[in-house]
Amino acid sequence: MKRDLIISTVFRIISYFAFLVVVFIFLTTIIDGLQYFSWEFFTQSPSKGMTAGGVFPAIIGSIYMLLLSLLFAIPIGLMTGIYLSEYGGNSKLAELLLTAITSLAGVPSVVFGLFGLAMFSIAFGFRTSILSGSLTLAIMTLPVISSSVHEALNSIPRDIRESAYALGAKKTEVIFKVLIPYAKLRVLTAILIGGGRIIGETAPVLLTGAIFYATRMPDSVMDPTMTLPTHIYYITMAYGDKAQWMAKGTISVLMLFVLIIYSIAFVIRGRMQKIK
């Protein structure tokens, strides 16, 4: 009994510690930058060698990247997950696919960046552009989305599928009319968490889609763009003390984005638990 108490206390302290670290990171980074928030900061481009103005182009660029990469990743991720759970069974191909997805999740992001650079920017001729960047990010998020779709579908009770079959539904009808709606919230949560990662990715975007300064908005997906994380990187690496305030402000904006995305994900997760 006494040993149980000690062990559970140790675990509790460790998990509180992990929680505190997360809260600390979010709070300090967000609060540190809040003082630089102003109307100009959100609506203007940087000026005077990154010492004045705002980060409007980087905000827009990050949103473009996020939406476009989800546009690629969601359908492919959904289809892969559905295949794995509903069609693959124990086949060799499914096994191979599952291994590939798991390994993909462990590849360092800079490697994705180099791959994207070689594949999309150079081989496909998309150059440094929003398109190259989003495609690279889409590949990075694919494992998150497809494995969560796979797991969500797999966890649906057998009786639910069979009830649909028993009414005369065909396999595709069972999948798209019953199983997908059933797994909807879980999949949505996974997409949001994937999105939270995409928006903060630096290395892949640095290599495939980002430029350090843009005075105008991108005209099309073939243009490069500024993004929040790469903007932070450029300022801290290449600009003097007078520009550092902008990095702090930008970090604050980025972390707020991540916080909002994750909060939505957690609200959905909470609702999900209430329903079931």
97: burial class by Cβ within 10 Å (0-12, 13-18, 19+)?
A: middle
How distant is the alpha carbon of residue 199 from its chain centre? 6
Q: Name the minimum Å distance from CB 180 to another protein.
A: 10
Instruction: Tell me which of 164, 193, 228, 258 binds another protein, using CB under 8 A.
Output: 164
What CA–CA distance (Å, rounded) separates 249 from 52? 12
Backbone phi and psi for residue 46, each to the nearest 5 degrees, phi listed first: -65, 150
Instruction: Tell me which of 102, 163, 172, 263 binds another protein, using CB under 8 A.
Output: 163
Neighbour tally for 76: CB within 10 Å: 15
Between 178 and 205, name the residue whose CB sits nearer to another protein. Answer: 178
Q: Name the minimum Å distance from CB 14 to another protein.
A: 37
What CA–CA distance (Å, rounded) separates 183 from 197? 22
Instruction: Tell me which of 160, 238, 260, 267 binds another protein, using CB under 8 A.
Output: 160
Segment contacting another protein by CB under 8 A, of 100-108, 125-133, 169-177, 254-262: 169-177
Segment contacting another protein by CB under 8 A, of 8-16, 174-182, 191-199, 211-219: 174-182
Backbone phi and psi for residue 254, each to the nearest 5 degrees, phi listed first: -60, -45
What CA–CA distance (Å, rounded) separates 165 from 131? 42
Between 222 and 272, name the residue whose CB sits nearer to another protein. Answer: 272
What CA–CA distance (Å, rounded) separates 34 from 250? 9
Q: Fill in the DSSP letter of residue 37.
A: -
Instruction: Tell me which of 2, 157, 219, 220 binds another protein, using CB under 8 A.
Output: 157
Does the footprint of another protein cover residue 270 (CB under 8 A)? no
Does the footprint of another protein cover residue 166 (CB under 8 A)? yes
Q: Shortest CA distance to 143 belongs to which of 194, 207, 218, 178?
A: 194
Does the footprint of another protein cover residue 106 (CB under 8 A)? no
Does the footprint of another protein cover residue 92 (CB under 8 A)? no
Does the footprint of another protein cover residue 178 (CB under 8 A)? yes
Q: How many residues bind another protein (CB under 8 A)?
A: 22
Q: Name the minimum Å distance from CB 156 to another protein.
A: 10
Segment contacting another protein by CB under 8 A, of 42-50, 177-185, 223-231, 255-263: 177-185
- Count the helix, strand and coil residues of the chain and give each as a percent rounded to the nearest 5: 80, 0, 20
Classify 75 as helix, strand or coil.
helix
Does the footprint of another protein cover residue 120 (CB under 8 A)? no
Q: Which pair of tokens denotes residue 110?
A: 């800079």
Residues near another protein, by CB under 8 A: 89, 157, 159-170, 173, 177-178, 181-182, 184, 275-276
